[in-house]
Amino acid sequence: MTHNTPLSPRPLRHLSEVHRRVLTTAQLRAHGLTAAEVTEQCRPDGPWQQLLPNVVLLHPGPPTSEERLHGALLYAARESSAPGVPPQPTAETPHAPVYAEAMITGLAALTLYGFSATPPLLSLDHIDVLVPRQRRLRPTGYVRVLRTPALPAPRTVTGLPVAPVPRALADAVAELTDAEAVRRLLTEAVRAGHCEPAAVVRELTQAKLLNRPHVVDAVDSILAEGRSIAENRLYRMVAEYGLPDPVWNVDLRLPGGPHLGGLDAYWPDQAVAVELDTRAPRQDEDALWSEYARKREHLERLGITVVYITPKKLRDSLEQQAAVVRTALMASADRDPAAYVVVLPR
């Protein structure tokens, strides 16, 4: 019997080729095989092999990277409510079973997302699988089990449930001591548009990784990188959507008075300002937001409209952000004139 031999009484037509090559012992029993028959097929010179506990590879020889990934998920996924019944496909993934309460994370997940700074899947010593904290599951073979109080919503990549990029980054960084490797991963995540710096910092903070100097240095680098990317998108928004040219990167002061704050773009004739909200969610987030709020309130008391835009909004909805700024510029005609302020280069 080989993986090409039909199993009964449940046919495997609804499964993709890899799902016919990697099955759990419960699934094999559902197809009519006894435990003794499975053991016989998995003998040292037999046609099958035990890939992981209760997970069988239906051919001899080394597993492919795809088989290793599916085997890891089969090992880690919560069992179906009906024992022995394989997870059923969904409308979104008609040829793949549902892996309940398990997803690929760490370096393997980043490789699936297409990161160039991660090793090939077959060269990874282990594959990280994320499961709920309460699951009783031990690491085994090439599978490393990571636990979390609340599973994030997975992304589907090549038919597999994969942790979102910021979570996968945090799980990968947790095991890396090479400062350059950490910097490359975080930089690629931001530069290639996989996620925003703030989302990365949030996950690293929750994972308590910001007490490691090499991680902090990498975070400072991606925050600077993220601001530069956001500034370029802001320049593009003004040019592509026909907004009047502002003065860029300026400080405002009252004549002979105090400094009012720096702005990324300012339209003096309309008294409209744009500021990029590039706060990173660290311990001082509340204090930093209070500073943002105080500056905004002060400027608006002077008759200056302040539009805050996040890098994520610039990435995902540039046209909509341009409309917000255009509306503020047009509305200036209906407002009382703003107080006179001095505009200085920043």
Strands 55-57, 22-24: pairing is antiparallel
- The answer to whether residue 337 is domain-embedded is yes
Q: If you average pLDDT over residues 37-55, what whole number do you get? A: 93
- Asked if 308 contacts 275 with a C-beta cutoff of 8 angstroms, the reply is yes
Q: For residue 86, name the pLDDT band (cuts at 50, 70, 90).
A: very low
- The answer to whether residue 281 is domain-embedded is yes
Higher-confidence position of 127 and 334: 127
- The answer to whether residue 138 is domain-embedded is no
Residues with Cβ within 8 Å of 92's Cβ and at least 6 positions away in sequence, in order, are: 156
What is the reported pLDDT for 206? 93
Q: pLDDT exceeding 70 applies to what percent of the chain? A: 86
Q: Give residue for tokens 């080729």.
A: 17
Residues with Cβ within 8 Å of 242's Cβ and at least 6 positions away in sequence, in order, are: none
What is the reported pLDDT for 278? 78
- The answer to whether residue 71 is domain-embedded is no
Q: Is omega for the bond preceding 246 within 30 degrees of 0, making it cis?
A: no
Query: What are the b/e assignments for 88-121, b being 16+ CB within 10 Å?
Result: ebeeeeeebbbbebbbbbbbbbbbbbebebbeeb
- The answer to whether residue 244 is domain-embedded is yes
First to last CA, the chain: 74
- The answer to whether residue 179 is domain-embedded is no
Please give the tally of structural domains in the chain: 1
What is the reported pLDDT for 85? 44
In which element (H, E) is residue 19 found?
A: helix 17-21
What is the reported pLDDT for 288? 58
Q: If you average pLDDT over residues 110-114, what whole number do you get? A: 97
Q: What is the mean pLDDT of the chain?
A: 87
- Asked if 146 contacts 127 with a C-beta cutoff of 8 angstroms, the reply is no
Compute the residue count for the chain: 346
What is the reported pLDDT for 4? 45
- Domain interval for residue 265: 236-345
Higher-confidence position of 95 and 202: 202
pLDDT at residue 163 is higher than 60:
yes
| DSSP structure string for 282-310 | STTHHHHHHHHHHHHHHHHHTT-EEEEE-
Q: 177-221, pLDDT tens digit by residue? A: 999 999 999 999 999 989 999 899 999 999 999 999 999 999 999
Q: If you average pLDDT over residues 221-230, what whole number do you get? A: 90
Query: Which one-letter DSSP state was computed for residue 140?
Result: B
Instruction: Dig out the tokens for 176 from the structure.
Output: 């890396």
What is the reported pLDDT for 286? 59
- The answer to whether residue 297 is domain-embedded is yes
What whole-number distance in Å separates Cα of residue 313 and Cα of residue 333?
Answer: 26
- The answer to whether residue 153 is domain-embedded is no
Q: If you average pLDDT over residues 253-278, what whole number do you get? A: 92
Describe the crossing of helices 165-173 and 197-206 by its angle, rounded to 10 degrees. 50
CATH of the domain at 336: 3.40.960
- Asked if 22 contacts 13 with a C-beta cutoff of 8 angstroms, the reply is no
Query: Which one-letter DSSP state was computed for residue 339?
Result: P
Q: Give which of 143, 166, 123 is closest to 76, Cα–Cα.
A: 143
Least confident of 20-29, 133-142, 156-165, 291-300: 291-300
